[in-house]
A and B are shown apart, each in its own frame.
Chain A
Amino acid sequence: MQCPQCQTENPDGFRFCGNCGFNLADLAQQGPADGEGARTLFFGAMQAPDRAKLILIKGEGMDGVSYHLNATEHTAGRSDGEIRFPDDPLLSPRHACFYYDDQHNLVVRDDGSVNGVFVRIRDPVPLVAGSRFLVGEQLIEFQETTKDDQQPEADDQGTYFYGSPRRPGHFKLVQLLRGGDIGMIFRAPTDRVTLGREGNDINFPDDPFISGQHAMVNVAGDGYELNDMGSKNGTFVRLEEPFVLGHGDYVFLGQQLLRVEISA
């Protein structure tokens, strides 16, 4: 359905234009079909009405459009698929896929996107080298430091590399900037590092979306884990493999935050 206001093509069933918010339901009512017409256009709905849906979160907890996931697979992206956000430059043309697996679980998969798919963590999650997560607006990459502690090696002429004194560091957290540049690298002097707006090991005082005490990375057994400290907006980890979504999960695609609703 094309929005009469901004000409954006919206998936059928949209009550509001995903681009400009124009009330498409009113438009539909004026049309030949009745107000329910939009919904019937989802063919899958006939087999499995409302199996699951994604609710687009529009700032301050307001819900926006909802996407009914009634087919088997639903692609999301900037220009491809059923769930499209043409104005979000952080989305790849084809970004992610929501599908049902053999057990009828709703699964989200990164479809080779540049920026990845992030899911809000409910419990502590393990981190490995290269893991990325979002706290507020900050994108952080976790890195191990074990390599640093290896013995120095001479080059083929027997010369050793001169480096700065090594401070103890259990791991490193790297702030990645828009565009991919590195902002800051923080070496963890102890086995746990807290992140937030103020009073933490790493503070982002200018980030309006970060909580006072937001998240913590710590050594856990032989590995490392990421914890949310009860933040308002949550801590999101980038998916490395397909992830089974549950009711109430939050998914970040580019700038789009989606809440998962699964009917019983």
Chain B
Amino acid sequence: MLAQQLLNGLVVSGVYALFSLGFTLVFGIQRILNLAHGAIFMTGAMVAYYTVSAGGPLWLGFVLAILASGILSVIVELVCFRRLRKTGDEEFGGIISSIGAGLVITTIAQQVSSTQILRFPFETFPVVIYRFWGLRVSMLQLFMAGAAIVLVLVLGYFIYRTSFGRRVRAVTDNEHASMLMGINPNMIYAQTYFVAGALAGAAGVLVGLAFNSISFVMGEPYLMFAFAIIILGGLGSIPGALLASLVFGMVQTLTIAYLPSGLTDTIIFAALFLILLVRPNGILGKDDAGSLRGRR
């Protein structure tokens, strides 16, 4: 039973990780909280749904969802943040304008979906259950865990092992110096937003498949959790977001399994407060991780 729950927790954690990594990546590089991230996640699920319901194969839905969410995320950066950055008021102003962008996207999705909860046709993802060592695992769960792990590894490889990743980290570290080294930060921002949006879109499709329920508001709870996750992990820290996703996914799954379900969020956020009392900058946060000012 415990092993089963840990496995379920791992799957949930994977989805949180995909969602939060993009959120923390954007915060790390720009010190901006993109509150439209939940709407971008939802867009991924919607695009996959409409592709499948139009008769397309699921893999195509997946690819289109990733592309669409990535592009939408770049549009949010261009429309909401780029102009504000020129005025130097991107931190607070950016939060407000990204809430606005989130509302616009959510409202469009509401119109398109006629405020309905959408469901993939039966067996869009084959229902296959594997049993081993007394565990019960669906093919979908395996796929979700596999997709999350692969995407996280690919992201890690790009950020820490390629020249593109070095440029992203250079801009994150010191935008001024990076320009003097021939880096165009606007290009890096656009690419980072694309990656962040694409990861969120992938998470959206996985969640849509897992619960077989897609609605225009599905991003909100995830945004809330991602907020808590990146604070817990240390704002802007990629390993921190991964670790915190794991903690969150596990705690959530285990509390749902063993305690009255109404207590889940209470326990999670109480744990968040307790951890922040001991580690005010998050588990892997730097001393200045929470400060919105400085560095430029």
A and B interact: no
